[in-house]
Structure 1
Amino acid sequence: MDLQQRIATASRLAHIAPFHVMELAKQAAELERAGRHIVHMGIGEPDFTAAEPVVRAAEAAMRRGVTQYTGALGIPALREAIAGYYRTAYGIDVPARRVIVTAGASGALLLACAVLVEIGAEVLMPDPSYPCNRHFVAAFDGAARMIPSGPAERFQLTAAQVETNWGERTRGVLLASPSNPTGTSILPDELRRILTAVRERQGFAILDEIYQGLSYDAPPVSALSLDDQVVTVNSFSKYFNMTGWRLGWLVVPDALVDAFEKVAQNLFICASAVAQHAALACFTPEAMAIYDARKAEFHRRRDAIVPALEALGFRVPVKPDGAFYVYADCRGVNHAAAGDADRLTQAMLQEAGVVLVPGQDFGAHTASDYIRVSYATSMENIELAMERLGKLFAA
């Protein structure tokens, strides 16, 4: 008998579902190899790459030979720079000691769950949510409790839902603002009420803020300005356009720094040294001007794609105010698969050459009704995709 057949996998894998966006990307790649032109509006990755000052800084760091391990919490200069960013961008004072540099936001979320999620603990999050969030909880033998959330709640968890659904095993909440897949933020007053409800129950709150730099309709409000006991996650991937560099950070309560350091030492050792030294250039005036211009371009795309989708028969019940996603109700389009997001996304890929993501990736609640549209691509691609879908739905 083959040895591989006798090796049992951990039971927790039964709780980890396939990621449909990656499956669709694989199908798209096969079509491209066969000569089809495909417009990709599935994966949430900026079409912009690292800014030139960051590239120069990475090259200089490698030539200086700063490629060895760093401390588990990150190089002091970068932790100070991130603390300075909070002062500039949010007007809040975050001591550099509380900043922990991580191997991407995924590494940050894994660390947060390792430190905070007890075996059997329940963590509340909205349905829909980024699918990996519930898997991070499951990886440490906790359980994500998905709370159905619709347009009335901006597809976010509310304080009332926290209060109603908090049970004996509940230990905290894991939220994202702005959210993937919906691009919607938790309004500041509601976020304050959520954090108060969690604090009253002696729970923890983890806030994924990786899209805060891409907030379009109002200045972003970090949860850190409302409660200094919250754990926030951020990243150099989205606003700073450094996806493949795998660099992010946490801000944690002062009392938890040592615990996070101990776990980081054992799980990751450190984040990429080159990426850390390169990221120092993100906060220079030259780089920030580039990011501001790119944010304005994302804003322009948002304002173009929402009415374009509505003209095709999609309904956008909550206008996204951040990130680069639209969560669109597909029940109104003129197609036999309308109201079946999985079938519809297959039809849009196979028949129109456009990659979009069905709602089932993000939870069970109304999953068949919604698709996620990523506008992290050029205006030319957006216009081409809308033209192709218009022809598909007119057939």
Structure 2
Amino acid sequence: MQHHLASRLDHISSFHVMELMKMAAELEAEGRHLIHMGIGEPDFTAPTDVIAAATAAMAEGKLQYTSALGLPALRSAISSHYRDQFGLDVPAQRIIVTAGASAALLLACAALVEAGKEVLMPDPSYPCNRHFVAAFEGRARLIPSGPAERFQLSAQMVREHWGAQTAGVLLASPSNPTGTSIPQSELREIIDIVKQRGGYTIVDEIYQGLSYEGAPFSALSLDSDVVVINSFSKYFNMTGWRLGWLVVPESIVPAVEKLAQNLFICASAVAQHAALACFTPDSLAVYAARKEEFRRRRDYLVPALRELGLDVPVTPDGAFYVYADCSRFSDDADAFAKQVLREAGVVIVPGKDFGPATAHRYVRLSYANSLENLQEAVRRLKTFLHPEKS
């Protein structure tokens, strides 16, 4: 039987990188040893306190549905985290615990995106962000952004591209795939421009804890009306636990709660009880040490790639990604990534998924892998790119 699919699917692309991952799996099945620099996932797992809290929650039978807004204790803990880390007063009643940052973005788009309206975002950007907009029949308008803008939207770009059908902007700082952040003064100006035009600003801050230059800040410090997405996946190393949160203006909490009740019921109860232990002194010390390890890896990898001839025009200041220009070696980043996989045994991601502006020139490399493995990857890349020197 042929089923008729909704037309909105025409505006949602597949992850092209999955083809590369299938190729990698086939090579590994043949016995090849690969260095993985493609996955956007910490190589660390949850600390001891978090595992113990999950075990205790299961042993004590704390497995029932929670409020759609999340455990009150966890919402309060996140509120305290904003106070302790950023000096911000973010009331717990504005915090909604979600089934990962993906659910937070889904709820934000369900509440704010109107059919046919535009949402501005940079090209390159994480593909799911534009697909959430498309899922609610909005139109993601990708604005090409290069090294001069740190691969981010600038205030001037927002001014120039805001039109009659524009309703808001969706930003990520630090960003996937580039690891770059929007400077505080620039972000403030963007928020002001959007607010003057009656629009909304959504800021994905899931890599906020992994900021390496200067004091990290939240967009919430610039304007309390900003909608902010965050997650326990990246900084807190809980990817498979599927837990995140959303901060919204208090006036729209009832609307988002209604959506959460209907779309998700609640986030995982076990994951929520476990996440309470993310904020213990021991866990916070673990996260701080792991952040420094990510910084150490970045400080090794960026100059190493530049020495190989893979240009890194903007040093990433956050997350665990490097966005590198491979045009010295190929005018087709997708073909280049596949050749690197087959011949060098290193998994990297082409820019194809992140938008057309950088698709052919750039590849993304993740340093969410051990320093030893990163050093081996660089050795393999050197042999592949410069066989005459090997």
Shorter-chain TM-score range: over 0.9
1: CA distance between counterparts of 2:35 and 2:11? 32
Q: What is the identity, as a one-letter code, of the residue corresponding to 2:373?
A: N
Q: What is the identity, as a one-letter code, of the residue corresponding to 1:215?
A: S
TM-score (normalizing by structure 1):
0.97
Aligned to 2:196: 200
Aligned to 2:368: 376
TM-score (normalizing by structure 2):
0.98
CA deviation after TM superposition for structure 1 residue 22, in Å = 2.4
Q: What is the identity, as a one-letter code, of the residue corresponding to 1:382?
A: L
Count the aligned residue pairs: 387
Superposed counterparts of 1:165-184, under 5 Å: 165-184=161-180
2:155 to 135, 152, 159: 159
Aligned to 1:30: 26
1: CA distance between counterparts of 2:18 and 2:246? 27
Gaps of 5+ in 1: none
1:385 to 370, 377, 388: 377
Q: For the Cα contact (< 8 Å) 2:123–2:358, is it kept in 1?
A: no
Aligned to 1:219: 215
CA deviation after TM superposition for structure 1 residue 23, in Å = 2.2
Q: For the Cα contact (< 8 Å) 1:21–1:43, is it kept in 2?
A: no
Aligned to 1:73: 69
CA deviation after TM superposition for structure 1 residue 332, in Å = 2.2
2: CA distance between counterparts of 1:387 and 1:172? 45
1:40 to 36, 39, 43: 36
CA deviation after TM superposition for structure 1 residue 339, in Å = 2.5
What is the Cα-based RMSD across aligned positions, in Å?
Answer: 0.7
1:264 to 248, 260, 264: 260
CA deviation after TM superposition for structure 1 residue 21, in Å = 2.5
Aligned to 1:91: 87
Aligned to 1:118: 114
| Cα deviations by residue, 1:315-348 (Å, 9 ceiling, x for unpaired) | 1111000000000011124xxxx23101100100
Q: What is the identity, as a one-letter code, of the residue corresponding to 2:359?
A: A
1: CA distance between counterparts of 2:186 and 2:86? 18
CA deviation after TM superposition for structure 1 residue 297, in Å = 0.2
Structure 1 position 103 matched with structure 2 position 102? no
Q: What is the identity, as a one-letter code, of the residue corresponding to 1:293?
A: A
CA deviation after TM superposition for structure 1 residue 137, in Å = 0.3
| Cα deviations by residue, 1:337-368 (Å, 9 ceiling, x for unpaired) | x2310110010001111110111110000310
Q: For the Cα contact (< 8 Å) 1:20–1:357, is it kept in 2?
A: no
1:56 to 52, 57, 75: 52
2: CA distance between counterparts of 1:236 and 1:93? 20
Identity %: 67
CA deviation after TM superposition for structure 1 residue 221, in Å = 1.2
CA deviation after TM superposition for structure 1 residue 43, in Å = 1.1
Aligned to 1:279: 275
1:18 to 10, 14, 25: 14
Q: What is the identity, as a one-letter code, of the residue corresponding to 2:366?
A: S
Aligned to 1:342: 334
